[in-house]
């Protein structure tokens, strides 16, 4: 059983379906031909998240008979991905949905009709220019990570042949402008707040420089800034797509599926003909399209207003997911865990984040309307975090904690104060902040040392708690005021709102002895 067998027709559909593989229900050749002649969508970034999510939801629209064209992928960073996982398999992929039950669901994705290397050194560049000049093109989108929107002064100096992604996109946009100021929607699908603004700022940086250097007409910049011609919608995307999983590889091989090779490219991209991802997914998009779009709602995308997209992001980051992640990661590191899914088997930790979320964060949750916050947090606790396929580690989540606390906990505290809610009802948020001081000591609950995760302030903050020793309940804890007085970290004056002393008391308990992290966590979780 190989993916290319589907293209050649040399396969028995009944055999594949009997083994649990969902096959394309549309004419792949016809979709490819139609897309080549009248392309509507180009996506930049051909990595795992693209194949598992945007390409997969378009595949659903095609299967439903609601659309007749596919998506063209353009890779701006790792061209080896095109050579290793697109070209050899006729641009087909196997999407493997990792269920929290430990089972998998398998779908063949055939919605990608072309895979191009977005670089002047390859013939593909001429094809991309041709596509951008085509009036049929409706949207371009991105999953290139937040770093992909970087603009470097040295790249601006390269004129009309920049090498960074935003510069290449700007060059292609110039082609579209020259073809008759044709409309286009520029849609970021990366997991970063206000992502549409990031791509807009990147493209405009090049356009402004080119106009200033007389490399492009002023009308080009005006066209990019005309929202009726070119739009840059925001979106919120949420779906974990880890590197190819060895257990998945084994399960597919047991089916008789032969395309199970995994690759690490020279740029350290981990990929394979199959892509595995968690079962839960969210894509909420600002419905601001200048010339139509593919019907991605057929695959579950939600189209709404910019304000609502921002509310969904706020709900996730300040209440329903990210605070739980940080709380369990700090205590997970202290208790010696290396997997988030393993932590979810710990009754104290599971109850800790459950009560923190439902009882302390949810009273001030931002309800976006298009997603139910209670259903969202329920999926997090019951399906996402316990998923045995997810290799996420508390050590990774704990990275940059000092930068995350203001949003993940500070915003909730601000809302409590603004609404005059009783801060005495907060127990587990203060415990999390107390756990941060214990974490910064770099000593596990069993007494073994560990290295706190990378963070721009980690050395500075570790120095503050350095005088403290585990196992000395009567020591001088006055250094804690220097830590918890940091409004830049906690977003509020913890002492001014009456939480500072309470947090200090919890820190004293956590430092009282080896084993105190467990007993203190258990005590407060049960008390709450």
Condensed to tens digits (0 to 9), the pLDDT of residues 224-236 reads: 999 999 999 999 9
Q: Please, are residues 132 and 172 in contact by the beta-carbon 8 Å criterion? A: yes
Cα–Cα dist 274/259, whole Å: 7
Average pLDDT, the chain: 97
Q: Please, are residues 80 and 267 in contact by the beta-carbon 8 Å criterion? A: yes
Residue with tokens 């995994």: 262
The percentage of the chain sitting over the pLDDT mark of 90, rounded to a whole number, equals 99
Beta bridge partners of 453: none
Residue with tokens 């997603």: 371
Q: Please, are residues 233 and 287 in contact by the beta-carbon 8 Å criterion? A: yes
- Domain at 307-527: CATH code: 1.10.1040.10
Q: Please, are residues 35 and 110 in contact by the beta-carbon 8 Å criterion? A: no
- How confident is residue 528, by pLDDT bands cut at 50, 70 and 90? confident
Each residue's pLDDT tens digit, 138-162:
999 999 999 999 999 999 999 999 9
Q: Please, are residues 412 and 471 in contact by the beta-carbon 8 Å criterion? A: no
Beta bridge partners of 46: none
Enter the tokens of residue 415: 């809302």
Q: Where are the domains of the chain?
A: 3-304, 307-527
Each residue's pLDDT tens digit, 48-98:
999 999 999 999 999 999 999 999 999 999 999 999 999 999 999 999 999
Cα–Cα dist 416/516, whole Å: 29
Cα–Cα dist 527/483, whole Å: 26
- Domain at 3-304: CATH code: 3.40.50.720
């Amino acid at each position: 059983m190989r993916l290319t067998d589907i293209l050649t027709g040399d396969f028995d559909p009944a055999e594949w379906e009997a083994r649990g593989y969902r096959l394309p229900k549309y004419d792949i050749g016809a979709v490819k031909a139609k897309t080549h002649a009248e392309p509507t969508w180009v996506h930049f970034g051909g990595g795992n998240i693209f194949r598992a999510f945007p390409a997969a939801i378009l595949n659903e629209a095609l299967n439903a008979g609601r659309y007749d064209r596919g998506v063209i992928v353009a890779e701006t960073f790792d061209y080896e991905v095109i050579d290793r996982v697109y070209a050899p398999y006729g641009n087909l992929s196997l999407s493997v949905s990792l269920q929290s039950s430990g089972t998998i669901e398998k779908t063949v994705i055939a919605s990608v009709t072309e895979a191009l290397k977005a670089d002047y050194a390859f013939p593909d560049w001429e094809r991309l220019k041709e596509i951008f000049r085509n009036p049929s093109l409706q949207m371009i989108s991105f999953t290139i990570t937040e770093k992909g929107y970087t603009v470097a002064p040295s790249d601006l100096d390269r004129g009309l042949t920049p090498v960074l992604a935003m510069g290449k996109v700007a060059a292609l946009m110039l082609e579209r402008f020259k073809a008759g100021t044709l409309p286009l929607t520029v849609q970021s699908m990366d997991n970063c707040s206000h992502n549409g603004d990031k791509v807009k700022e990147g493209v405009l940086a090049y356009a402004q420089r080119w106009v200033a250097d007389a490399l492009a007409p002023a009308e080009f910049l005006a066209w990019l800034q005309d929202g009726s011609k070119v739009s840059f919608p925001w979106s919120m995307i949420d779906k974990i797509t880890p590197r190819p999983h060895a257990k998945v590889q084994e399960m597919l091989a047991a089916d008789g599926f032969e395309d199970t090779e995994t690759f690490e490219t020279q740029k350290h991209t981990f990929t394979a003909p199959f892509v595995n991802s968690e079962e839960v997914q969210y894509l909420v998009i600002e419905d601001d399209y200048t010339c139509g779009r593919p019907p991605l709602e057929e695959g579950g995308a939600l189209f709404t207003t910019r304000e609502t997209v921002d509310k969904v992001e706020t709900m996730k980051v300040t209440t329903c997911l990210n605070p739980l992640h940080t709380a369990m990661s700090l205590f997970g590191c202290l208790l010696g865990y290396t997997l988030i899914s393993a932590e979810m088997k710990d009754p104290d930790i599971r109850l800790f984040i459950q009560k923190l979320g439902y009882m302390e964060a949810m009273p001030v949750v931002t309800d976006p309307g298009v997603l139910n916050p209670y259903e969202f947090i329920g999926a997090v606790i019951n399906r996402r975090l316990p998923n045995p396929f997810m290799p996420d580690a508390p050590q990774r989540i704990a990275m940059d904690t000092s930068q995350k606390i203001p949003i993940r906990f500070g915003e909730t505290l601000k809302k409590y104060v603004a609404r005059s809610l009783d801060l005495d009802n907060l127990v587990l948020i203060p415990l999390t902040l107390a756990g941060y001081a214990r974490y910064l000591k770099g000593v596990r609950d069993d007494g073994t040392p560990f290295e706190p995760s990378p963070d721009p302030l980690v050395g500075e903050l570790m120095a503050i708690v350095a005088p403290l020793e585990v196992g000395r309940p009567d020591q001088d804890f006055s250094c804690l005021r220097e830590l918890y007085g940091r409004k830049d970290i906690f977003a509020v004056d913890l002492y001014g709102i009456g939480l500072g002393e309470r947090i200090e008391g919890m820190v004293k308990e956590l430092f009282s002895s080896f084993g105190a992290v467990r007993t203190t966590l258990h005590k407060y979780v049960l008390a709450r």
